[in-house]
Amino acid sequence: MRRLLASLAAVIGLSPATPSLAGPVSPQAAPAAWVAYAGLVNQAIAGQLGGTDPAAVRLHDYLDQIPGASPDSGFRLPIQVWVDAKGVITRIDFTPFAHPEPDADLWALLVGHRLPQVPPKDMLLPIRLSIGLEPGPTPTDKAVSPRKSF
């Protein structure tokens, strides 16, 4: 099973409320509060995806089977996250997988998840993250358990 880790990418994206911006704001140009909040979202997503929830386990199993994810480099999933004023993930956007099940599992794990803090005032959305999938343990390291194949 791959371990899912979220890492900051282009951190802050466009907000429909700010049409004067031409594109994402880099982490270097973003206010410190925005970068810190993106880090909090990063940790929360990593926690959700790294858990033992059945949807997380199914997603791990699916991702373990994706061709092109090498044992050395793993796999990266760019994702955009929208958070409301109450700190709830209301929407995510990502390139869909080849099968609908992992898409549904990713949505189920993230959309509706309440974060430990609300976003900073005037923070631009979406928050852009890149979910890093590290290579899984060697077969001798992991317990044998029956898993569903896609």
Question: What are the pLDDT digits (tens) for 95-129?
Answer: 999 999 999 999 999 999 999 999 998 899 999 98
Q: Tell me whether residue 141 is in a domain.
A: no
Q: Is residue 126 a contact partner of residue 80, using CB atoms and an 8 Å limit?
A: yes
- The whole-angstrom separation of Cα 133 and Cα 131 is 6
Tokens at 22, concatenated: 């031409």
- For the stretch 46-95, pLDDT in tens is 889 888 999 999 988 888 777 766 555 566 789 999 999 999 999 999 99
Number of domains the chain contains: 1
Q: Tell me whether residue 142 is in a domain.
A: no
Q: Select from 94, 95, 92 the least CA-distant residue to 115.
A: 92
What residues make up the domain containing 79?
A: 3-18+26-134
- For the stretch 79-93, pLDDT in tens is 999 999 999 999 999
